[in-house]
């Protein structure tokens, strides 16, 4: 028995239908999703998706449905958000480059901050000295004015004006101290943010170097725990701290420490017989994020052999198992 394909059936239907002056048909769907064939498109469906079919029953053109005003508005809003995000990211990358070029180490950054703060504190101390000097002078002038009054004499105008001027000087000096204190606070806030960002960038550098020196791409994938959302990542990060603390105790590694809010690590290896463990985290808006564990050894051959041992591999592979168990 001969079998007919869908294309043959459609062609047979088209042959039975009246000939079309332009040679072809239009396939479109109504609001209920029912397909319709006609030699012209009804005006009411001009904005709907459709297909143009030739005499052989083949689709020669597909026309997408016109977007609604709401869809167009959403599309514009999305493009605006993406543009702003790219601008902010580019701006942040520029700031990061400047920060890393300005300071090579954390010590340099903190030293720069301390130097600027000391300068401001020196200005405040000088102003306070001037205030104390003015206050002592006012006391002396007030005593002199009291003696004039006790003798029933008028206080000289020069003396009165000097007291008023000194009081004004003290008032202005106190405002100057407040301005310097505000400047110092802004400086601390600015450097506080830069310090935090500097630690993040340096931590990422360390993670990247450790990953490129030891782990292959396949190993990195095996030792990565992916989060369904940001909340899960935050819970996983808390459990990861416990995991690393247990590892440090079991293998006699230096106490874990948080170098930034994205990297948790033990101390760097000091010789070929020691290693360190790093756990880093990355958050993403769409799919939550991931946690990655890396082992770091010295770069020379004995160190690399150490990081390739089964005990180190078990530490890295164990994080994913541990987190899945804790988050069930």
Within 13 A of 78's CA, how many CA atoms are on the CB side? Answer: 6
Q: Does residue 76 form part of some domain?
A: no
Phi-psi region of 252 (alpha: psi -120 to 50; beta: other; left: phi over 0): left
Contacts of 23 (CB under 8 A, 6+ apart): 54, 55
CA distance 297 to 253: 12
If asked whether residues 226 and 309 sit together in one domain, one would say yes
If asked whether residues 228 and 185 sit together in one domain, one would say no
Q: Does residue 58 form part of some domain?
A: yes
Beta bridge partners of 225: 291
Beta bridge partners of 61: 52
Looking only at the bridges linking them, the beta strands covering 224-227 and 59-63 are: unpaired
Containing structural domain, residue 255: 215-326
DSSP for residue 120: H
Last residue of a domain, one of 205, 240, 275: 205
Supply the pTM of this predicted model. 0.54
Domain count across the chain: 3
Last residue of a domain, one of 182, 205, 228: 205
If asked whether residues 190 and 157 sit together in one domain, one would say yes
Q: How far is CA 137 from CA 5, 123, 142, 145, 302, in A?
A: 110, 21, 9, 12, 75
If asked whether residues 54 and 116 sit together in one domain, one would say no
pLDDT in tens, the chain (328 residues): 444 454 554 454 444 444 333 457 888 777 777 777 777 777 767 677 778 887 777 777 887 777 778 878 888 888 888 888 888 888 988 888 888 888 988 899 999 999 999 999 999 999 999 999 999 999 999 999 999 999 989 999 999 999 999 999 999 999 999 999 999 999 999 999 999 888 888 877 777 666 555 555 566 677 888 888 888 888 998 899 899 989 988 888 877 766 667 788 888 888 888 888 888 888 766 667 888 888 888 777 777 788 888 888 899 889 999 999 998 8
If asked whether residues 118 and 23 sit together in one domain, one would say no
If asked whether residues 220 and 316 sit together in one domain, one would say yes
Q: Does residue 50 form part of some domain?
A: yes
Q: Does residue 95 form part of some domain?
A: no
Q: How far is CA 42 from CA 9, 39, 46, 57, 284, in A?
A: 25, 10, 7, 20, 46
């Amino acid at each position: 028995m001969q079998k007919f394909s869908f294309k043959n059936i459609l062609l047979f239907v088209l042959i039975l239908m009246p000939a079309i002056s332009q040679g072809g048909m239009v396939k479109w769907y109504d609001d209920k999703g029912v397909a319709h064939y006609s030699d012209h498109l009804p005006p009411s469906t001009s904005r709907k998706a459709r297909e143009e079919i030739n005499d052989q029953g083949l689709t020669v053109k597909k026309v997408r449905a016109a977007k609604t005003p709401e869809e167009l508005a959403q599309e514009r809003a999305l493009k605006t958000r993406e543009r702003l995000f790219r601008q902010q990211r580019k701006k942040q990358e520029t700031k990061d480059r400047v920060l890393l070029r300005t300071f090579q180490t954390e010590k340099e950054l903190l030293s720069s901050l301390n130097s600027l703060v000391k300068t401001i504190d020196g200005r405040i101390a000088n102003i306070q000295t001037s205030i104390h000097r003015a206050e002592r002078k006012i006391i002396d002038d007030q005593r002199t004015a009291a003696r004039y009054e006790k003798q029933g004499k008028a206080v000289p105008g020069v003396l009165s004006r000097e007291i008023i001027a000194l009081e004004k000087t003290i008032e202005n000096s106190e405002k100057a101290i407040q301005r310097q204190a505000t400047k110092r606070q802004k400086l601390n806030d600015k450097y506080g943010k830069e310090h935090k960002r500097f630690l993040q960038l340096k931590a990422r550098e360390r993670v990247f170097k450790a990953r490129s020196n030891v782990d292959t791409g396949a190993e990195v994938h095996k030792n990565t725990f992916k989060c369904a959302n940001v909340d899960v990542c935050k819970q996983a990060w808390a459990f990861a701290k416990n995991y690393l603390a247990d590892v440090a105790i079991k293998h006699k590694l230096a106490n874990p420490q948080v170098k930034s809010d994205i990297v948790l690590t033990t101390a760097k290896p000091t010789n070929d017989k020691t290693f360190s463990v790093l756990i880093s985290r990355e958050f993403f808006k769409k799919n939550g994020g991931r946690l990655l564990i890396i082992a770091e050894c010295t770069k020379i051959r004995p160190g690399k052999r150490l990081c390739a041992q089964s005990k180190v591999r078990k530490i890295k592979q164990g994080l994913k198992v541990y987190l899945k168990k804790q988050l069930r």
